[in-house]
């Protein structure tokens, strides 16, 4: 734990033990160079405290890049609520309220919104004690609600850009696209792809959701353990991070990758492994920036939803065309190019 904290390149770590729920609250502030740290609140079980801290740190670092590349004045941060295996569901809301109070005590150093394991309704509860530092409350509480559909629009835009780069045409029509993870972003994404005429394959550990989408749209189902071996044009990881690694990359049978999951590369060198296999990688923190771009534009800059959506499409299209060009001109990975773009702004 000590070395995890000492060796991290971020600004500060706050770790609280919530004795009542026996949960750890971890807030990682990676950078406030461009503005207050803003990042989602992830809530789930972890094997141990070290892995929860590491997850918060890596996700916070990703947020710094995401904000910088999007040209928005915010810094990188992330919160993780590491749950015990046996949390009584009746204790959840009170835990969220105590978490909200912890965010408020930071006095604007860190602002938050939903992430894996939390919803817009949870933001309403957190905001009871955490306002005015909470984004994405439900619309009747003055928020913009679930950011999933905005993130999905951004990923869809990323897929169009990747299709243009890999196949010469910015359309997913007729392309075989495998979506891993049908959470709120994955669900929004398959709807965009379906409308655009893509051939869609879906995979999720949740069999009920998969079955529902198969019945409603007739999508082909890929079992979770067969995802990395399935032949497709574009692979869209929209579940957990770290899935592109030394073990999975040699198995992939796709031409391009563009998805919503944060931290898709297990280690930075995985981007080199993808480049060597000539698989076009759309950097995750660009492809999944639609949510934050949309939410910030609407909640702090007063843009309408339509104007915010236009901004998402423009920002992601422009960033990716610049990144793909830089990567090929300078013979570097797309991940490296995206980081250079973000670093440019951080300097």
Which residues are catalytic, by number?
Answer: 78
**Which phi and psi (to 5°) does residue 103 adopt?**
-65, -40
101 near 112, Cβ under 8 Å? Answer: no
Nearer to ligand PHE, 57 or 262 (CB): 262
Which among 283, 172, 171 is positioned nearest to 232, based on CA atoms?
Answer: 172
**Which position's Cβ is nearest ligand PHE?**
113
Nearer to ligand PHE, 53 or 295 (CB): 295
Q: Please pick, from the candidates 75, 143, 147, 148, the single residue that binds ligand PHE as defined by CB under 6 A.
A: 147
What is the Cα–Cα distance from 180 to 274, expressed in whole angstroms?
A: 18
Alpha helices (H) in 106-237, listed in sequence order: 120-130, 148-167, 184-195, 207-217
- Considering the complex, what minimum distance in angstroms separates the CB of residue 285 from ligand PHE? 8
Q: Does the CA dihedral 170-174-176-181 come out positive or negative?
A: positive
Nearer to ligand PHE, 39 or 181 (CB): 39
Q: Candidates 13-21, 209-217, 289-297, 319-327: pick the segment binding ligand PHE (CB under 6 A).
A: 289-297
3-state secondary structure of 234: strand
Nearer to ligand PHE, 127 or 136 (CB): 136
Q: Please pick, from the candidates 32, 262, 319, 333, the single residue that binds ligand PHE as defined by CB under 6 A.
A: 262
Which among 232, 77, 66 is positioned nearest to 162, based on CA atoms?
Answer: 232
Distance of CA 46 to the CA centre of its chain: 18
113 binds ligand PHE (CB under 6 A): yes
Q: Candidates 87-95, 112-120, 246-254, 322-330: pick the segment binding ligand PHE (CB under 6 A).
A: 112-120
What is the Cα–Cα distance from 59 to 343, expressed in whole angstroms?
A: 17
- Considering the complex, what minimum distance in angstroms separates the CB of residue 39 from ligand PHE? 5
- Considering the complex, what minimum distance in angstroms separates the CB of residue 61 from ligand PHE? 12
Q: Please pick, from the candidates 11, 115, 122, 284, the single residue that binds ligand PHE as defined by CB under 6 A.
A: 115
Nearer to ligand PHE, 235 or 285 (CB): 285
Q: Please pick, from the candidates 145, 158, 241, 291, the single residue that binds ligand PHE as defined by CB under 6 A.
A: 291
Helix (H) or strand (E) holding 292: helix 290-299
30 near 37, Cβ under 8 Å? Answer: yes
295 binds ligand PHE (CB under 6 A): yes
Q: What's the chain's length in residues?
A: 347
Subset of residues 33 to 92 that bind ligand PHE, contact rule: CB under 6 A: 38-40
203 near 221, Cβ under 8 Å? Answer: yes
Which among 207, 118, 191, 116 is positioned nearest to 149, based on CA atoms?
Answer: 191
Q: Candidates 7-15, 47-55, 264-272, 287-295: pick the segment binding ligand PHE (CB under 6 A).
A: 287-295
148 binds ligand PHE (CB under 6 A): no
CB neighbourhood size of 78 (10 A): 30
Q: Candidates 26-34, 193-201, 227-235, 286-294: pick the segment binding ligand PHE (CB under 6 A).
A: 286-294
Binding site for ligand PHE (CB under 6 A): 38-40, 113-115, 135-136, 147, 262, 288, 291-292, 295
């Amino acid at each position: 734990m000590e070395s995890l904290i000492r060796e991290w390149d971020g600004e500060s770590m706050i770790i609280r033990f919530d004795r009542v729920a026996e949960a750890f609250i971890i807030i990682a502030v990676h950078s406030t160079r461009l503005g207050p740290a803003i990042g989602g609140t992830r809530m789930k079980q972890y094997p141990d405290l070290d892995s929860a801290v590491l997850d918060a740190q890596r996700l916070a670092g990703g947020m710094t890049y995401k904000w910088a590349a999007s040209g928005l004045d915010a810094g990188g941060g992330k919160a993780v609520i590491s749950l015990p295996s046996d949390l009584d569901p009746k204790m959840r809301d009170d835990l969220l309220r105590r978490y909200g109070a912890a965010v408020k005590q930071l006095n604007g150093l860190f602002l938050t919104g939903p992430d894996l394991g939390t919803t817009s309704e949870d933001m309403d509860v957190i905001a009871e004690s955490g306002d005015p530092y909470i984004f994405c409350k439900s619309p009747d509480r003055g928020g913009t609600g679930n950011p999933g559909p905005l993130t999905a629009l951004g990923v869809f835009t990323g897929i169009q850009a990747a299709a243009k780069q890999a196949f010469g045409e910015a359309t997913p029509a007729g392309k075989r696209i495998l979506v891993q993870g049908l959470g709120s972003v994955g669900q929004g994404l398959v709807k965009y792809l379906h409308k655009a005429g893509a051939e869609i394959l879906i995979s999720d550990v949740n069999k009920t959701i998969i079955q529902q989408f198969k019945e409603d749209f007739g999508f082909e189902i890929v079992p979770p353990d067969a995802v990395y071996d399935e032949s497709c044009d574009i692979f869209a990881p929209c579940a957990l991070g770290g899935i592109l690694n030394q073990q999975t990359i040699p198995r992939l049978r796709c031409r391009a990758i563009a998805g919503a999951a944060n931290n898709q590369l297990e280690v930075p060198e995985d981007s080199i492994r993808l480049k060597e296999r000539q698989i076009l990688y759309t950097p995750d923190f660009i492809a999944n920036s639609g949510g934050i771009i949309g939410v910030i534009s609407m909640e702090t800059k007063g843009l309408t939803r339509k104007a915010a959506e236009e901004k998402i499409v423009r920002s992601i299209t422009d960033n990716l065309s610049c990144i793909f060009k830089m990567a090929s001109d300078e013979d570097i990975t797309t991940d490296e190019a995206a980081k250079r773009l973000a670093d440019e702004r951080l300097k």
